[in-house]
A and B are shown apart, each in its own frame.
Chain A
């Protein structure tokens, strides 16, 4: 027992000295916390690609570590604490559900910088948030989906009823309806980001209900497998999912985190890092549109590309009025553009979508 106490005292001392010893010439220690596995070919895969790009950019200047499949909750706090204790200078927490753990751990480690994806809480000066305007990509996918559906039923596999997902549904629907007034959206809430079995079942359920185009806001490729068998089409989510091209995957929304990760690591090295809130879209390149395959008619590809260009240049905002609330009352007047605050907290469907947003 006595030895143990001594050992603990020594290691505590070692830790205490180790922390300030992370001097300038040591490589920058960057930690990543992933909600899924890097082999998911979706969300986590792209964060990991950006991690690899970071290593590529700085070579020996950075050392990265990552932990996969970290549940959103108390476990995340444990993993984050562990990372901070083992000397990380900068930690990216890459899922919405890490919001509270990130801020809790940030309070205890003021010298470690935290970057939380898709959240909005920056309680401490060492927490930044970043996200991508995925809804810009959804608008393009909706534009394609509206013209590709023959049954006029578009299936939508949704994950959790949070603003990001609801925004995606609204954006996709508005742009599908714009090109096809008869289009109808069928939404299934899977209550998971990543569960291939549930996602496959949801895709099958939507196809059995007549959907011939399926959009997904879950991260596995399982729905693609079902679509391929049933002859339906869909879009890569978070990652290109190019192995399913040219059909069922006809295009994709790609998250490109690399430029942001490199810029933030550079800021820490330069000592210019400060708490910020970043929300970039197609223009700055954080959201990419995967190659549109030949399965899409040429004129649709052209009009979709025009939409991409208009969004990228800032000429067009996907939430531009007139847009009504689901009950028909007015949300945005003619020409009015939604403000970021409303978009960030979006908890309602626009007119034309049936059903209620789950609480």
Chain B
């Protein structure tokens, strides 16, 4: 179709989507416990800079990814302490976290733009990746990409099929009831916030170490906000978040290829299409208002103050 190779398109789509997907799946769990963390962008960019710095300095991409996760989680911990223990407003704190992350990352990254990170090896041998059609699509990626899909599956399983998931959801639906039943609401929320931070940090590190292989200030360019929007449009369902992320990445990759192939569609329409298509599809999917509303955690964004 239009002279576009579907295989390279799918490979590009998966790479483009993964940072957003990782951040979205982390935020989904956070929101499921009833906490709205708008600091995703800040945690992502901090993960991106720390991942890059550590990968360059140690020569180990794995350490870079771990550093990205740790720094994302560290930033999330600030948010957690402020909102859960000091009961600050979640929206304001989250926004502040984004601003803080953007500034901090610029400071941490001084002197690193233009450095070359170590090469990330793919987990599968070249023989597998060289298979026609399925090779590049299934076996040609870096480990983080497989991890991101596994993470979606794990989140889906834990949230929907296990007792731990039931507790997480209970905390998000009605923290007073969960508290009355003896669950440690604040502890559970803090753990979810740390998980969300680590996921966002890993997404950022993937962006700087694998996808762009460079560090530049502000390089996440709004990916964290897209992740936040995806969680809502996906009605807090893990597989839908994956679909939304791949759809967004897919249209992003496709529109560049359509331009490169010289298709006669106005460039302005192509350039905005990833946002428009993702929103339209997810809105249609969640168009049954009653069900979509039911899916939003009832205690989302509400402050919990244990009384007795």
Main secondary structure of the interface of B (DSSP, over half): loop
Q: Identify the closest chain B residue to A353 (Cβ).
A: B262
A220: which B residues are within 8 A, CB to CB?
A: 214, 216
A-B interface contact total, Cβ < 8 Å:
104
Docked-complex contact A197 and B207, CB < 8 angstroms: yes
B267: which A residues are within 8 A, CB to CB?
A: 161, 189, 356, 358
Q: Is B212 an interface residue (CB 8 A)?
A: yes
Q: How far is the CA of A262 from the CA of B12 in the complex (A)?
A: 46
Known A39-B113, A208-B257, A358-B268; contact A69-B262, beta-carbon cutoff 8 A: no
A186: which B residues are within 8 A, CB to CB?
A: 259-262
Q: Is B1 an interface residue (CB 8 A)?
A: no
Docked-complex contact B217 and A37, CB < 8 angstroms: yes
A354: which B residues are within 8 A, CB to CB?
A: 262
Docked-complex contact A195 and B221, CB < 8 angstroms: yes
B residues 97-139 with Cβ under 8 Å of A? 106, 109-114, 116
Q: Is A141 an interface residue (CB 8 A)?
A: no
Give the shortest distance, in Å, between A67 (CB) and chain B (any CB). Answer: 13
Known A41-B114, A188-B259, A358-B267; contact A208-B212, beta-carbon cutoff 8 A: no
Known A186-B260, A202-B256, A354-B262; contact A37-B211, beta-carbon cutoff 8 A: no
Choice from A39, A197, A204, A356 contacting B217 with Cβ under 8 Å: A39
Q: Is B252 an interface residue (CB 8 A)?
A: yes
Q: Is A187 an interface residue (CB 8 A)?
A: yes
Q: Is B182 an interface residue (CB 8 A)?
A: no
Give the shortest distance, in Å, between A300 (CB) and chain B (any CB). Answer: 25
Choice from A197, A209, A355 contacting B219 with Cβ under 8 Å: A197
Docked-complex contact A205 and B216, CB < 8 angstroms: no
Q: How far is the CA of A118 from the CA of B112 in the complex (A)?
A: 29
Q: Is A146 an interface residue (CB 8 A)?
A: no
Docked-complex contact A211 and B260, CB < 8 angstroms: yes
Q: Identify the closest chain A residue to B272 (Cβ).
A: A191
Q: Is B266 an interface residue (CB 8 A)?
A: yes
Choice from A68, A69, A161, A188 contacting B256 with Cβ under 8 Å: A188
Docked-complex contact A205 and B260, CB < 8 angstroms: yes
Give the shortest distance, in Å, between A311 (CB) and chain B (any CB). Answer: 30
Chain A to chain B: the 8 pairs with minimum beta-carbon distance, closest first: A39-B113, A205-B256, A208-B8, A358-B267, A209-B260, A188-B259, A196-B212, A37-B217
- A and B contact pairs by CB, cutoff 8 A, 19 listed: A37-B218, A39-B111, A40-B216, A68-B217, A69-B217, A195-B219, A197-B211, A197-B212, A197-B223, A201-B12, A205-B253, A205-B257, A208-B9, A220-B214, A221-B114, A222-B212, A222-B213, A243-B116, A356-B264
